[in-house]
Amino acid sequence: MIKLLYLEASPRQDNSYSSRVAKAFLDSYRERNPDHEVEHLPLFDRELPAFGAEGANQKMDNIMNLFTGGSGIEVEGEWAGVMQEIERLKSADKVLLSSAMWNYNVPYRLKHWIDLVVQVGASVMVNEKGEYVGQITGRPLQMIIASGSPYEDRFPLESDGSKTDFMRPYLDHIFRFLGFTDIRCLRVMPTGIPSPETEDMVARCEEQARAAARVF
């Protein structure tokens, strides 16, 4: 069965613009693919595995084990939680991510999840040339990102000043590091001041999301 993993990185539920547009996407996707499984992971409603001193030390032990010809360390303790989230991501044929911009980057719960699944020696390997090779390949990612201000789709410039988008470039980079190549992005912006114009913009984004779901 085809599986879509939906990562929801906003705690505002129905008040979240990114979640609203993602709902339109999912409604359209389910209508077109009623036999597909959708796993919803609301990052603010689930307790993510811990990754502290134990996990960080296990990460380095795993890397050293692999570099010296081993097959990796035993999956236990905090490392078990890491591998659980990596396997969840690997089990998905498609990934949908919705998130608002917080302080010009991703919300902390999304960063927590990223720091769990992005692991050299597990989700990213190193080849004989010393190059990083992402292990999660062959699946599309649809991002739905909401922001209070409008931003261009490019890397930050020094001249951007206080309105600098580190979020989209970071997400694009980190998922490519994992091995994704088919990355699509729908931006919901500007959302800073709710108004009738904002609602019109969100309605347009919802329609774009429905169209995107039909070819996802």
The answer to whether the CB of 185 falls within 8 A of the CB of 146 is no
Per-residue confidence (pLDDT) for residue 89, from 0 to 100: 98
Parallel/antiparallel/unpaired status of strands 132-134 and 124-126: antiparallel
126-146 pLDDT, tens digit per residue, is 999 999 999 999 999 999 999
CATH number for the domain harbouring residue 26? 3.40.50.360
Residue range(s) defining the domain that contains residue 107? 3-214
- Mean pLDDT over 111-130 rounds to 96
Q: Taking all residues of the chain, what is their mean pLDDT, rounded to a whole number?
A: 96
Count of structural domains within the chain: 1
Per-residue confidence (pLDDT) for residue 97, from 0 to 100: 98
CA dist 82 and 76 (Å) reads 10
Per-residue confidence (pLDDT) for residue 30, from 0 to 100: 98
**Burial of 167 (C-beta count, 10 Å sphere; 0-12/13-18/19+):** buried
Per-residue confidence (pLDDT) for residue 27, from 0 to 100: 98
The answer to whether the CB of 77 falls within 8 A of the CB of 55 is yes
- Mean pLDDT over 86-106 rounds to 98
178-216 pLDDT, tens digit per residue, is 999 999 999 999 999 889 999 999 999 999 999 999 999
Helices in the chain by DSSP H: which ranges? 17-32, 53-67, 77-90, 108-117, 167-178, 196-214
37-57 pLDDT, tens digit per residue, is 999 999 999 999 999 999 999
CA dist 149 and 151 (Å) reads 7
Per-residue confidence (pLDDT) for residue 9, from 0 to 100: 98
